[in-house]
Each structure stands twice: as structure tokens, then as C-alpha cells.
Amino acid sequence: MKILGIDPALSVTGYGVIECQNRDLSLVETGIISTSPKQSSVERLKKIYRTVTRLISDVKPDIIVLEKLYAHYRHPTTAYILGQARGVICLACAESNIPMVEYGATRVRKAVLGRGSASKNQIQRMVASTLKVNIKSRYTDVTDALALAIAHSYIIRSYDCQDFRKDS
């Protein structure tokens, strides 16, 4: 089972693809989709949409995992912008007929580390340890995306990974 985790944002959207085989996890691909604040929001959203659509076509994930939208009442504009980026990603999933699930940040941290109050640094170390890779990215968006994918694999662990293939 291939799981594509995406940490959406307008400036830097991180993504990570893992493979789940016989309860073993391996890293397939990671990267970022970056946009420039000099571009219009329409151009930035179009770039995110096209890149995610191409990524789905290339990687052929069985499922896509996004972080649930969390909005702090003091920063409504941030939620609005994040919602737009999430919207084009959801559209890419829908058009590709790829199932999508969402988890809150606390749920992801709890699944990956066993507690919901883990720091970004702790998440990065656990993701690197779990996938047996050295992650040296200045973008925590990539680590967050991989954590989403890993968390989903753990959450469905009580099931056989094969049961979640879209072609089953």
C-alpha cells in the first residue's frame, strides 16, 4: 500500500510517500511544492493543484492523508489561505478517485510518538528512525507529511494493509 501524506500550505506544501508492505514501512519519495508570494493567489493555487495532480499520477498512491484544518480564532486569515490550498488538493484527490483521510495534528503525534504534545524535533527524529533514513530538511513540512502517512499506517495497523487498496 502506498500512502501519500501532504502537509498543505500556500507557501510550502510538503509531501511524503511511504510504502506499507507486511507491516514494514519504507520511504518512496519526499518533496515540497513551493510558491512565491510575488505570484497571485490564483497562480499559487494552480501550481499546487497541478503539482499534486502530477504527483498522484506518477506515484499512484492508494490513499492520501491530509492534516485536518486547525484555525486559531486570532488568525482567521491563515485558516482561509490554508483552506484554499487544502481545497485544490482535495479536488486533485477527487478527480483522481483516490480516497483521502484527515487526521488532527494531536492524533498524528499520538500515533507516531505515543503522546499528543510532541515537539517538531521529536517528530522529525521519530520519522527518521521509523523509516531508517536521515532527514535533513530545513522544511518541517516534509517531516509533517511523512508523519501523516506513518500515522495512517499505524492507525490501520489492526487491519491488513492490503484491505485498503483502492482496487480491492
Active-site position among 7, 19, 62, 144: 7
Residue 92 has pLDDT above 60, yes or no: yes
**What pLDDT score was predicted for residue 40?**
95
150 falls within a domain: yes
124 falls within a domain: yes
CATH number at residue 119: 3.30.420.10
Active-site position among 19, 62, 67, 144: 67
63 falls within a domain: yes
Structurally, the chain folds into a number of domains equal to 1
- pLDDT tens, 100-115? 999 998 899 998 888 7
Distance CA 2, CA 15 (A): 13
144 falls within a domain: yes
57 falls within a domain: yes
- Whether 62 is catalytic: no
Helix 140-155, helix 105-113: angle, nearest 10: 70
167 falls within a domain: no
- Whether 43 is catalytic: no
Q: Contact, 14 vs 148, CB < 8 A?
A: no
Active-site position among 29, 43, 62, 141: 141
168 falls within a domain: no
Q: Which H, E and C letters describe the chain, residue by residue?
A: CEEEEEECCCCEEEEEEEEEECCEEEEEEEEEEECCCCCCHHHHHHHHHHHHHHHHHHHCCCEEEEECCCCCCCCHHHHHHHHHHHHHHHHHHHHHCCCEEEECHHHHHHHHHCCCCCCHHHHHHHHHHHHCCCCCCCCHHHHHHHHHHHHHHHHCCCCCHHHHCCCC
pTM for this one?
Answer: 0.88
- pLDDT tens, 124-165? 889 988 998 887 666 689 999 999 999 999 988 755 544 544
Cell readout for 118 is 510532541
**What pLDDT score was predicted for residue 162?**
46
Distance CA 71, CA 76 (A): 7
Cα end-to-end span (Å), the chain: 11
What would the mean pLDDT of 31-52 be, rounded to a whole number? Answer: 96
What is the Cβ-side half-sphere exposure of residue 99, based on CA atoms within 13 angstroms?
A: 12
131 falls within a domain: yes
- Whether 141 is catalytic: yes
**What pLDDT score was predicted for residue 134?**
81
Average pLDDT in the chain:
88
Q: Which residues span the domain enclosing 134?
A: 2-161
**What pLDDT score was predicted for residue 159?**
52
- Other C-beta atoms within 10 Å of 69: how many? 12
